[in-house]
Structure 1
Amino acid sequence: MAALDFCLTGLAAGKTLPERLRAERRKRSMSLRDAAEKTGLSPTTIASLERGGGSVASLLRLLAVIAPNARRRAPERSYWGQGDKEDRDIRFTPVDFMANIYAAFGEIDLDPCGHPLSPVIARRRILPSDGGDGLVDDWSGKVAFVNPPYSQLLRWLRHAHDQWRAGKVETVVCLVPVRTDSAWFHQTLSADADIYLLQGRVRFLDIRGKSQQTPFSLMVLTLGATPEQKDCYAELVPGFWLTRSVTAASGAHRASPAIVRQPLWTVAPQ
Protein backbone atom coordinates (compact mmCIF):
# COMPACT_ATOMS: atom_id res chain seq x y z
CA MET A 1 0.00 0.00 0.00
CA ALA A 2 2.96 2.32 0.55
CA ALA A 3 3.39 2.51 -3.25
CA LEU A 4 -0.03 4.08 -3.78
CA ASP A 5 0.13 7.62 -5.13
CA PHE A 6 -3.21 9.33 -4.56
CA CYS A 7 -4.99 11.49 -2.00
CA LEU A 8 -8.30 10.81 -0.29
CA THR A 9 -10.94 13.23 0.93
CA GLY A 10 -13.32 12.38 3.77
CA LEU A 11 -10.62 11.08 6.14
CA ALA A 12 -9.23 12.47 9.38
CA ALA A 13 -6.24 14.78 9.05
CA GLY A 14 -2.72 13.37 8.98
CA LYS A 15 0.55 13.48 7.07
CA THR A 16 0.24 10.00 5.55
CA LEU A 17 -2.58 7.66 4.57
CA PRO A 18 -1.74 5.10 7.32
CA GLU A 19 -1.70 7.91 9.90
CA ARG A 20 -5.09 9.15 8.66
CA LEU A 21 -6.56 5.63 8.83
CA ARG A 22 -5.49 5.29 12.45
CA ALA A 23 -6.82 8.75 13.32
CA GLU A 24 -10.17 8.02 11.64
CA ARG A 25 -10.59 4.72 13.50
CA ARG A 26 -9.78 6.34 16.83
CA LYS A 27 -12.08 9.28 16.08
CA ARG A 28 -14.90 6.76 15.85
CA SER A 29 -13.80 5.22 19.18
CA MET A 30 -13.08 1.86 17.53
CA SER A 31 -10.48 -0.53 18.86
CA LEU A 32 -8.62 -2.80 16.45
CA ARG A 33 -10.92 -5.62 17.55
CA ASP A 34 -14.05 -3.48 16.94
CA ALA A 35 -12.87 -2.58 13.44
CA ALA A 36 -12.00 -6.21 12.74
CA GLU A 37 -15.49 -7.39 13.67
CA LYS A 38 -17.14 -4.79 11.42
CA THR A 39 -14.85 -5.29 8.41
CA GLY A 40 -14.23 -9.03 8.56
CA LEU A 41 -10.49 -8.33 8.58
CA SER A 42 -8.15 -9.50 11.30
CA PRO A 43 -6.77 -7.02 13.87
CA THR A 44 -3.31 -7.85 12.50
CA THR A 45 -4.34 -6.83 8.97
CA ILE A 46 -5.81 -3.53 10.17
CA ALA A 47 -2.69 -2.81 12.21
CA SER A 48 -0.64 -3.51 9.08
CA LEU A 49 -2.72 -1.04 7.05
CA GLU A 50 -2.11 1.58 9.73
CA ARG A 51 1.63 1.02 9.34
CA GLY A 52 1.58 1.34 5.54
CA GLY A 53 1.26 -2.34 4.68
CA GLY A 54 -1.66 -4.48 3.56
CA SER A 55 -3.45 -4.78 0.23
CA VAL A 56 -5.74 -2.45 -1.69
CA ALA A 57 -8.62 -4.90 -1.19
CA SER A 58 -8.15 -4.75 2.59
CA LEU A 59 -7.89 -0.96 2.47
CA LEU A 60 -11.22 -0.69 0.64
CA ARG A 61 -12.93 -2.95 3.19
CA LEU A 62 -11.60 -0.84 6.06
CA LEU A 63 -12.60 2.43 4.40
CA ALA A 64 -16.14 1.14 3.83
CA VAL A 65 -16.54 0.91 7.61
CA ILE A 66 -14.52 3.76 9.12
CA ALA A 67 -14.86 6.32 6.28
CA PRO A 68 -17.72 5.38 3.93
CA ASN A 69 -17.67 8.85 2.35
CA ALA A 70 -13.95 8.79 1.54
CA ARG A 71 -13.20 9.47 -2.10
CA ARG A 72 -10.09 9.69 -4.21
CA ARG A 73 -9.22 13.30 -4.93
CA ALA A 74 -8.55 13.95 -8.59
CA PRO A 75 -4.93 14.96 -9.27
CA GLU A 76 -4.44 18.66 -9.88
CA ARG A 77 -3.88 19.43 -13.54
CA SER A 78 -1.31 21.89 -14.81
CA TYR A 79 -2.96 22.28 -18.21
CA TRP A 80 -6.32 23.43 -19.54
CA GLY A 81 -8.75 20.54 -19.86
CA GLN A 82 -11.37 22.28 -21.98
CA GLY A 83 -11.43 23.72 -25.46
CA ASP A 84 -10.51 22.46 -28.90
CA LYS A 85 -7.05 21.02 -29.32
CA GLU A 86 -5.82 23.91 -31.49
CA ASP A 87 -6.87 26.64 -29.04
CA ARG A 88 -6.54 24.87 -25.69
CA ASP A 89 -3.46 26.94 -24.86
CA ILE A 90 -5.13 30.26 -25.68
CA ARG A 91 -6.25 31.80 -22.41
CA PHE A 92 -6.13 35.54 -21.78
CA THR A 93 -4.85 37.08 -18.55
CA PRO A 94 -7.71 39.01 -16.87
CA VAL A 95 -7.66 42.80 -17.00
CA ASP A 96 -7.92 43.14 -13.21
CA PHE A 97 -4.98 40.77 -12.72
CA MET A 98 -2.87 42.79 -15.15
CA ALA A 99 -3.74 46.04 -13.36
CA ASN A 100 -1.79 44.80 -10.32
CA ILE A 101 1.12 43.73 -12.53
CA TYR A 102 1.33 47.24 -14.02
CA ALA A 103 1.05 48.85 -10.58
CA ALA A 104 3.86 46.77 -9.08
CA PHE A 105 6.29 46.25 -11.98
CA GLY A 106 5.53 49.20 -14.25
CA GLU A 107 4.59 49.39 -17.90
CA ILE A 108 5.14 46.25 -19.96
CA ASP A 109 7.66 46.65 -22.77
CA LEU A 110 7.29 43.16 -24.24
CA ASP A 111 4.61 40.49 -24.45
CA PRO A 112 6.39 37.59 -26.21
CA CYS A 113 3.25 35.42 -26.07
CA GLY A 114 1.05 38.00 -27.75
CA HIS A 115 -2.37 37.43 -29.29
CA PRO A 116 -4.54 39.97 -31.17
CA LEU A 117 -7.37 39.49 -28.64
CA SER A 118 -5.21 39.61 -25.52
CA PRO A 119 -5.97 42.49 -23.10
CA VAL A 120 -2.29 42.71 -22.05
CA ILE A 121 -1.01 46.23 -22.75
CA ALA A 122 2.58 46.15 -24.00
CA ARG A 123 4.70 48.43 -26.15
CA ARG A 124 5.70 45.45 -28.27
CA ARG A 125 3.87 42.18 -28.82
CA ILE A 126 5.28 39.18 -30.64
CA LEU A 127 2.31 37.81 -32.58
CA PRO A 128 2.33 34.40 -34.29
CA SER A 129 -0.44 35.71 -36.55
CA ASP A 130 2.11 38.23 -37.92
CA GLY A 131 4.83 35.62 -38.34
CA GLY A 132 6.44 36.25 -34.95
CA ASP A 133 7.70 33.58 -32.59
CA GLY A 134 8.48 34.46 -28.98
CA LEU A 135 10.72 31.39 -28.71
CA VAL A 136 12.86 32.51 -31.66
CA ASP A 137 12.69 36.31 -31.87
CA ASP A 138 14.98 38.36 -29.64
CA TRP A 139 13.40 39.97 -26.61
CA SER A 140 13.99 43.58 -25.63
CA GLY A 141 12.89 46.20 -23.13
CA LYS A 142 12.80 46.81 -19.41
CA VAL A 143 9.88 44.56 -18.38
CA ALA A 144 8.56 41.47 -20.17
CA PHE A 145 5.30 39.81 -19.12
CA VAL A 146 5.02 36.11 -19.97
CA ASN A 147 1.79 34.11 -19.79
CA PRO A 148 2.99 31.21 -21.96
CA PRO A 149 1.19 28.26 -23.55
CA TYR A 150 1.13 25.90 -20.58
CA SER A 151 1.60 22.83 -22.77
CA GLN A 152 5.11 24.18 -23.52
CA LEU A 153 5.78 25.65 -20.09
CA LEU A 154 9.34 24.42 -19.54
CA ARG A 155 10.42 25.48 -23.02
CA TRP A 156 9.13 29.03 -22.43
CA LEU A 157 10.71 29.29 -18.99
CA ARG A 158 14.06 28.18 -20.41
CA HIS A 159 13.87 30.82 -23.13
CA ALA A 160 12.77 33.55 -20.72
CA HIS A 161 15.69 32.70 -18.45
CA ASP A 162 18.13 32.70 -21.38
CA GLN A 163 16.92 36.10 -22.61
CA TRP A 164 17.17 37.58 -19.12
CA ARG A 165 20.64 36.13 -18.48
CA ALA A 166 21.76 37.55 -21.83
CA GLY A 167 20.62 41.02 -20.71
CA LYS A 168 17.94 41.37 -23.38
CA VAL A 169 15.36 42.35 -20.73
CA GLU A 170 15.86 43.72 -17.22
CA THR A 171 12.87 42.08 -15.56
CA VAL A 172 10.72 39.10 -16.54
CA VAL A 173 7.35 38.48 -14.88
CA CYS A 174 5.78 35.09 -15.61
CA LEU A 175 2.31 33.82 -14.71
CA VAL A 176 2.61 30.04 -14.69
CA PRO A 177 1.28 26.88 -13.00
CA VAL A 178 3.04 25.72 -9.85
CA ARG A 179 5.06 23.05 -11.63
CA THR A 180 8.53 22.74 -10.12
CA ASP A 181 9.41 19.09 -10.67
CA SER A 182 12.04 19.35 -13.42
CA ALA A 183 15.74 19.04 -12.58
CA TRP A 184 16.44 22.16 -14.67
CA PHE A 185 14.04 24.19 -12.54
CA HIS A 186 15.86 23.26 -9.33
CA GLN A 187 19.41 23.36 -10.69
CA THR A 188 19.24 26.54 -12.77
CA LEU A 189 16.07 28.62 -12.70
CA SER A 190 15.59 28.55 -8.94
CA ALA A 191 18.99 30.18 -8.41
CA ASP A 192 17.74 33.34 -10.15
CA ALA A 193 13.97 33.36 -9.75
CA ASP A 194 11.70 34.70 -7.03
CA ILE A 195 8.32 33.02 -6.69
CA TYR A 196 5.02 34.43 -5.42
CA LEU A 197 2.43 31.79 -4.56
CA LEU A 198 -1.00 33.16 -5.38
CA GLN A 199 -3.90 32.61 -3.01
CA GLY A 200 -6.99 31.26 -4.74
CA ARG A 201 -7.54 30.66 -8.45
CA VAL A 202 -7.48 33.07 -11.39
CA ARG A 203 -10.31 33.28 -13.93
CA PHE A 204 -9.10 33.56 -17.52
CA LEU A 205 -11.02 34.23 -20.73
CA ASP A 206 -10.87 31.72 -23.55
CA ILE A 207 -10.88 32.64 -27.24
CA ARG A 208 -14.71 32.68 -27.25
CA GLY A 209 -14.86 35.16 -24.37
CA LYS A 210 -15.97 32.57 -21.83
CA SER A 211 -14.59 32.94 -18.30
CA GLN A 212 -12.88 29.85 -16.91
CA GLN A 213 -11.17 29.30 -13.57
CA THR A 214 -7.80 27.58 -13.66
CA PRO A 215 -7.95 23.89 -12.66
CA PHE A 216 -4.52 24.30 -11.06
CA SER A 217 -2.64 26.61 -8.71
CA LEU A 218 -0.63 29.50 -10.15
CA MET A 219 2.50 31.39 -9.21
CA VAL A 220 4.11 34.61 -10.34
CA LEU A 221 7.75 33.89 -11.16
CA THR A 222 10.06 36.88 -11.54
CA LEU A 223 13.60 37.36 -12.78
CA GLY A 224 15.34 40.61 -11.88
CA ALA A 225 12.48 42.12 -9.84
CA THR A 226 13.52 44.66 -7.21
CA PRO A 227 12.59 44.35 -3.52
CA GLU A 228 10.37 47.42 -3.92
CA GLN A 229 8.48 45.81 -6.82
CA LYS A 230 7.97 42.59 -4.87
CA ASP A 231 6.80 44.43 -1.75
CA CYS A 232 4.33 46.43 -3.81
CA TYR A 233 2.92 43.29 -5.44
CA ALA A 234 2.52 41.56 -2.07
CA GLU A 235 0.49 44.53 -0.82
CA LEU A 236 -1.86 44.31 -3.82
CA VAL A 237 -2.36 40.56 -4.29
CA PRO A 238 -3.10 37.86 -1.67
CA GLY A 239 -0.29 35.31 -1.40
CA PHE A 240 3.34 35.26 -0.28
CA TRP A 241 6.85 35.33 -1.69
CA LEU A 242 9.23 32.41 -1.42
CA THR A 243 12.49 34.28 -0.94
CA ARG A 244 15.73 32.64 -1.97
CA SER A 245 17.93 31.95 1.06
CA VAL A 246 21.07 32.61 -0.99
CA THR A 247 22.01 35.59 -3.14
CA ALA A 248 23.62 35.72 -6.54
CA ALA A 249 27.29 36.55 -6.84
CA SER A 250 28.32 39.96 -8.11
CA GLY A 251 27.88 40.54 -11.82
CA ALA A 252 24.77 41.08 -13.90
CA HIS A 253 22.49 38.05 -13.99
CA ARG A 254 25.14 35.66 -12.67
CA ALA A 255 24.86 33.02 -9.97
CA SER A 256 27.78 31.25 -8.36
CA PRO A 257 28.18 27.49 -9.03
CA ALA A 258 27.32 26.80 -5.39
CA ILE A 259 24.00 28.59 -5.81
CA VAL A 260 23.18 26.67 -8.96
CA ARG A 261 23.77 23.39 -7.17
CA GLN A 262 21.91 24.35 -4.01
CA PRO A 263 18.92 26.57 -4.84
CA LEU A 264 16.66 26.95 -1.81
CA TRP A 265 13.76 29.16 -0.81
CA THR A 266 12.47 30.23 2.55
CA VAL A 267 9.10 31.76 3.30
CA ALA A 268 9.40 35.53 3.44
CA PRO A 269 8.13 37.08 6.70
CA GLN A 270 4.77 38.76 6.32
Structure 2
Amino acid sequence: MLSGFKARNHPQQTGARGALDEVDDRGTDPQFVRDLETRYGEPFTLDVAAAPHNAKAARYYTRADDGLAQSWAGERVWCNPPYSDLHAWVSKAWQEWPDTRGIVMLLPANRPEQRWWQELVEPYRDKESSPLRTRFLPGRMRFSRPDAVIGPKGDRPPFGCVLLTWTAPQFSRPCDTGTPDKPCGGCPDCKPGAAVDLFNEWHGSSERESGGTR
Protein backbone atom coordinates (compact mmCIF):
# COMPACT_ATOMS: atom_id res chain seq x y z
CA MET A 1 0.00 0.00 0.00
CA LEU A 2 1.26 3.49 -0.85
CA SER A 3 0.55 5.74 2.11
CA GLY A 4 -0.98 9.05 1.13
CA PHE A 5 -1.26 8.12 -2.56
CA LYS A 6 -4.41 9.16 -4.41
CA ALA A 7 -5.07 8.11 -8.00
CA ARG A 8 -5.71 11.01 -10.34
CA ASN A 9 -6.58 11.35 -13.98
CA HIS A 10 -3.83 12.64 -16.22
CA PRO A 11 -4.32 16.32 -17.23
CA GLN A 12 -5.24 15.09 -20.72
CA GLN A 13 -8.24 13.36 -19.19
CA THR A 14 -9.67 16.10 -17.01
CA GLY A 15 -9.10 19.64 -15.90
CA ALA A 16 -8.63 20.69 -12.29
CA ARG A 17 -12.19 22.06 -12.18
CA GLY A 18 -13.84 19.80 -14.71
CA ALA A 19 -13.84 19.42 -18.47
CA LEU A 20 -11.51 21.48 -20.63
CA ASP A 21 -12.28 22.15 -24.28
CA GLU A 22 -8.65 21.60 -25.22
CA VAL A 23 -8.81 18.18 -23.56
CA ASP A 24 -12.29 16.92 -24.39
CA ASP A 25 -12.36 18.23 -27.97
CA ARG A 26 -10.13 15.47 -29.26
CA GLY A 27 -11.05 13.97 -32.63
CA THR A 28 -10.51 10.35 -33.63
CA ASP A 29 -8.59 9.53 -36.79
CA PRO A 30 -11.26 9.19 -39.54
CA GLN A 31 -9.43 6.24 -41.10
CA PHE A 32 -9.55 4.37 -37.80
CA VAL A 33 -13.32 4.81 -37.69
CA ARG A 34 -13.70 3.73 -41.34
CA ASP A 35 -11.69 0.60 -40.57
CA LEU A 36 -14.05 -0.15 -37.70
CA GLU A 37 -17.05 0.24 -39.98
CA THR A 38 -15.47 -2.24 -42.38
CA ARG A 39 -14.70 -4.61 -39.52
CA TYR A 40 -18.26 -4.50 -38.20
CA GLY A 41 -19.87 -4.45 -41.64
CA GLU A 42 -22.04 -1.41 -41.04
CA PRO A 43 -21.43 2.37 -40.96
CA PHE A 44 -22.09 4.40 -37.86
CA THR A 45 -25.28 6.42 -38.15
CA LEU A 46 -24.89 8.62 -35.06
CA ASP A 47 -21.90 10.22 -33.32
CA VAL A 48 -23.17 11.08 -29.84
CA ALA A 49 -20.20 13.16 -28.63
CA ALA A 50 -18.99 15.24 -31.54
CA ALA A 51 -18.20 18.69 -32.85
CA PRO A 52 -19.02 19.78 -36.41
CA HIS A 53 -15.36 19.60 -37.41
CA ASN A 54 -14.79 16.03 -36.18
CA ALA A 55 -18.13 14.20 -36.44
CA LYS A 56 -17.85 10.59 -37.57
CA ALA A 57 -21.44 10.16 -38.74
CA ALA A 58 -23.94 12.16 -40.75
CA ARG A 59 -26.01 12.65 -37.61
CA TYR A 60 -24.27 13.83 -34.48
CA TYR A 61 -24.76 15.50 -31.14
CA THR A 62 -22.55 18.39 -30.11
CA ARG A 63 -21.70 19.57 -26.63
CA ALA A 64 -24.62 21.98 -26.84
CA ASP A 65 -26.98 19.16 -27.88
CA ASP A 66 -25.79 17.06 -24.91
CA GLY A 67 -25.68 13.46 -26.09
CA LEU A 68 -26.34 12.32 -22.53
CA ALA A 69 -29.79 13.90 -22.70
CA GLN A 70 -30.68 12.60 -26.19
CA SER A 71 -32.09 9.32 -27.42
CA TRP A 72 -29.74 6.93 -29.25
CA ALA A 73 -32.59 4.62 -30.30
CA GLY A 74 -32.45 2.96 -33.70
CA GLU A 75 -28.86 4.05 -34.36
CA ARG A 76 -25.50 2.42 -34.92
CA VAL A 77 -23.60 4.54 -32.39
CA TRP A 78 -20.02 5.83 -32.35
CA CYS A 79 -18.81 7.55 -29.19
CA ASN A 80 -15.46 9.09 -28.30
CA PRO A 81 -16.77 10.79 -25.14
CA PRO A 82 -15.30 13.54 -22.96
CA TYR A 83 -12.72 11.77 -20.83
CA SER A 84 -13.66 14.04 -17.93
CA ASP A 85 -17.02 12.30 -17.34
CA LEU A 86 -16.63 8.65 -18.29
CA HIS A 87 -19.02 7.21 -15.72
CA ALA A 88 -21.94 9.17 -17.15
CA TRP A 89 -21.22 8.12 -20.74
CA VAL A 90 -20.76 4.41 -20.05
CA SER A 91 -23.88 4.39 -17.91
CA LYS A 92 -25.79 6.08 -20.73
CA ALA A 93 -24.59 3.42 -23.17
CA TRP A 94 -26.03 0.69 -20.96
CA GLN A 95 -29.35 2.54 -20.72
CA GLU A 96 -29.62 3.08 -24.47
CA TRP A 97 -28.18 -0.21 -25.73
CA PRO A 98 -31.44 -2.26 -25.93
CA ASP A 99 -32.92 0.18 -28.45
CA THR A 100 -29.81 0.71 -30.59
CA ARG A 101 -28.17 -1.24 -33.40
CA GLY A 102 -24.99 -1.47 -31.36
CA ILE A 103 -22.58 0.96 -29.69
CA VAL A 104 -18.82 1.38 -30.06
CA MET A 105 -17.05 3.59 -27.52
CA LEU A 106 -13.38 4.65 -27.40
CA LEU A 107 -12.01 5.13 -23.88
CA PRO A 108 -8.67 5.54 -22.08
CA ALA A 109 -7.25 2.21 -20.95
CA ASN A 110 -5.15 3.43 -18.03
CA ARG A 111 -7.77 3.69 -15.28
CA PRO A 112 -9.32 0.23 -14.71
CA GLU A 113 -9.25 0.81 -10.95
CA GLN A 114 -11.64 3.73 -11.19
CA ARG A 115 -15.33 3.54 -10.35
CA TRP A 116 -16.62 3.83 -13.93
CA TRP A 117 -14.63 0.74 -14.97
CA GLN A 118 -15.17 -1.29 -11.80
CA GLU A 119 -18.93 -0.69 -11.73
CA LEU A 120 -19.91 -0.49 -15.38
CA VAL A 121 -17.35 -2.51 -17.33
CA GLU A 122 -15.45 -5.11 -15.32
CA PRO A 123 -18.46 -7.12 -14.04
CA TYR A 124 -19.87 -7.55 -17.57
CA ARG A 125 -17.10 -7.45 -20.15
CA ASP A 126 -16.37 -10.42 -22.41
CA LYS A 127 -18.87 -12.76 -20.78
CA GLU A 128 -21.15 -15.05 -22.77
CA SER A 129 -24.29 -13.61 -21.20
CA SER A 130 -23.25 -9.99 -21.83
CA PRO A 131 -23.33 -7.83 -24.98
CA LEU A 132 -20.21 -5.94 -23.86
CA ARG A 133 -16.85 -6.71 -25.47
CA THR A 134 -13.51 -5.03 -24.80
CA ARG A 135 -10.57 -4.64 -27.17
CA PHE A 136 -7.36 -3.08 -25.87
CA LEU A 137 -5.64 -1.27 -28.72
CA PRO A 138 -1.88 -1.51 -29.33
CA GLY A 139 0.30 1.56 -29.01
CA ARG A 140 -0.99 5.07 -28.40
CA MET A 141 -3.62 6.53 -30.66
CA ARG A 142 -3.17 9.83 -32.46
CA PHE A 143 -5.94 12.38 -32.06
CA SER A 144 -6.67 15.72 -33.67
CA ARG A 145 -7.47 18.95 -31.86
CA PRO A 146 -8.56 22.27 -33.35
CA ASP A 147 -5.96 25.05 -33.23
CA ALA A 148 -3.42 22.77 -31.56
CA VAL A 149 0.25 22.89 -32.51
CA ILE A 150 1.01 19.25 -33.31
CA GLY A 151 4.52 17.89 -33.56
CA PRO A 152 5.74 15.47 -36.25
CA LYS A 153 4.67 12.44 -34.19
CA GLY A 154 1.09 13.64 -33.87
CA ASP A 155 -1.00 14.27 -30.80
CA ARG A 156 -0.57 11.16 -28.67
CA PRO A 157 -1.83 11.13 -25.07
CA PRO A 158 0.38 9.31 -22.54
CA PHE A 159 -2.00 6.34 -22.30
CA GLY A 160 -3.44 3.64 -24.50
CA CYS A 161 -7.08 3.19 -25.46
CA VAL A 162 -9.70 0.48 -25.25
CA LEU A 163 -12.77 -0.08 -27.41
CA LEU A 164 -15.99 -1.00 -25.65
CA THR A 165 -18.46 -2.63 -28.02
CA TRP A 166 -22.08 -3.35 -27.15
CA THR A 167 -23.26 -5.77 -29.82
CA ALA A 168 -26.61 -5.14 -31.46
CA PRO A 169 -29.36 -6.64 -29.25
CA GLN A 170 -30.42 -9.18 -31.89
CA PHE A 171 -26.85 -10.52 -31.99
CA SER A 172 -26.46 -11.01 -28.26
CA ARG A 173 -26.03 -14.61 -27.16
CA PRO A 174 -29.40 -16.42 -27.10
CA CYS A 175 -30.42 -19.53 -25.23
CA ASP A 176 -29.60 -23.04 -26.47
CA THR A 177 -32.79 -23.23 -28.55
CA GLY A 178 -32.14 -20.00 -30.42
CA THR A 179 -29.47 -18.67 -32.77
CA PRO A 180 -27.74 -15.26 -32.85
CA ASP A 181 -29.91 -14.07 -35.72
CA LYS A 182 -33.10 -15.80 -34.55
CA PRO A 183 -33.63 -15.92 -30.77
CA CYS A 184 -36.39 -18.15 -29.47
CA GLY A 185 -38.24 -14.99 -28.39
CA GLY A 186 -39.72 -16.35 -25.19
CA CYS A 187 -37.05 -16.91 -22.57
CA PRO A 188 -35.25 -14.26 -20.46
CA ASP A 189 -31.90 -14.95 -22.19
CA CYS A 190 -33.35 -14.01 -25.56
CA LYS A 191 -35.11 -10.86 -24.39
CA PRO A 192 -33.23 -7.84 -25.84
CA GLY A 193 -32.98 -6.17 -22.43
CA ALA A 194 -31.82 -9.24 -20.50
CA ALA A 195 -28.25 -8.04 -20.02
CA VAL A 196 -29.46 -4.58 -19.05
CA ASP A 197 -31.90 -6.11 -16.55
CA LEU A 198 -28.95 -7.91 -14.99
CA PHE A 199 -26.95 -4.67 -14.98
CA ASN A 200 -29.79 -2.70 -13.38
CA GLU A 201 -30.36 -5.38 -10.75
CA TRP A 202 -26.68 -5.44 -9.77
CA HIS A 203 -26.24 -1.67 -9.93
CA GLY A 204 -29.39 -1.04 -7.91
CA SER A 205 -28.12 -3.40 -5.23
CA SER A 206 -24.81 -1.55 -5.15
CA GLU A 207 -26.60 1.78 -4.69
CA ARG A 208 -28.72 0.44 -1.84
CA GLU A 209 -25.66 -0.96 -0.11
CA SER A 210 -23.86 2.37 -0.41
CA GLY A 211 -26.86 4.26 0.94
CA GLY A 212 -27.51 6.44 -2.09
CA THR A 213 -27.26 6.96 -5.81
CA ARG A 214 -24.01 6.90 -7.74
Q: TM-score range by the shorter chain?
A: 0.5 to 0.7
Encode CA deviations 1:135-165: one digit per residue, 9 max, x unaligned. Answer: 101113341000000001111111111011x
Asked if structure 1 preserves the Cα contact closer than 8 Å seen for 2:75 and 2:102, the reply is yes
* 1:170 lines up with 2:101 in the alignment: yes
Task: Identify the match of residue 47 of structure 2 among 111, 129, 132.
Answer: 111
CA positional deviation for 1:186: 4.9
The one-letter amino acid of 1:127's match is T
Q: Secondary structure at the match of 1:212?
A: coil
CA distance in 1, matches of 2:85, 2:140: 21
Return the match for 2:81 from 145, 148, 163: 148
State the alpha-carbon separation in 2 of the partners of residues 163 and 117 from structure 1: 25
2:155 is matched with 212
Q: Distance in 2 between matches of 1:147 and 1:140?
A: 18
Partner of 1:266: none
Given that 2:102 and 2:166 are in contact with CA atoms closer than 8 Å, whether structure 1 keeps it comes out as: yes
Shift of the 163–119 alpha-carbon distance from structure 1 to 2, 3 Å rule, reads closer
Q: Does 1:222 align with 2:165?
A: yes
Kept in 2: contact 1:109–1:140 (CA 8 A): no
Fraction of identical pairs, as percent: 24
8 A contact 2:13–2:84 mirrored in 1 = no
Please list every run of 5 or more consecutive structure 1 residues that lacks an aligned counterpart in the other structure: 7-74, 229-247, 262-270
| Alignment CA distance shift 1:257-1:115 (3 Å) | closer
Higher strand share: 1
Taking structure 1 as the reference length, what is the TM-score of the superposition?
0.53
The answer for the alignment partner of 1:251 in structure 2 is: 191
Amino acid across the alignment from 1:170: R
Q: CA 1:3/1:82 → structure 2, altered by over 3 Å: closer, same or farther?
A: closer
- The SS at the match of 1:213 is coil
Q: How does 1:60-139 map to 2 (within 5 A)?
A: 80=12, 85-105=20-40, 106-120=42-56, 122-128=57-63, 131-139=64-72
Structure with the bigger percentage of helix: 1
Q: What RMSD, in angstroms, separates the aligned Cα atoms of the two structures? A: 3.3
Question: How many angstroms apart in 1 are the aligned matches of 2:92 and 2:3?
Answer: 36
Larger Rg: 1
User: Which residue matches 1:201?
Assistant: 140
Letter in structure 1 aligned against 2:190: S
Give the 3-state SS of the residue equivalent to 1:154 in structure 2.
helix
TM-score when normalising by structure 2: 0.65
Q: What secondary structure, in the 3-state scheme, does the structure 1 residue paired with 2:133 have? A: strand
- Taking the aligned partners of 1:198 and 1:76, their CA distance within structure 2 comes to 22
Instruction: For structure 2, list consecutive stretches of 5 or more residues without a partner in the other structure.
Output: 172-187, 203-214
Cα offset, 1:102, TM superposition: 1.6
Distance 1:81 1:107, change over 3 A: closer
- Which stretches of structure 1, 4 residues or longer, exceed 3 Å deviation after superposition? 2-6, 75-79, 81-86, 186-192
Q: Deviation of residue 217 (structure 1)?
A: 1.6
The residue number in structure 2 matching 1:158 is 91
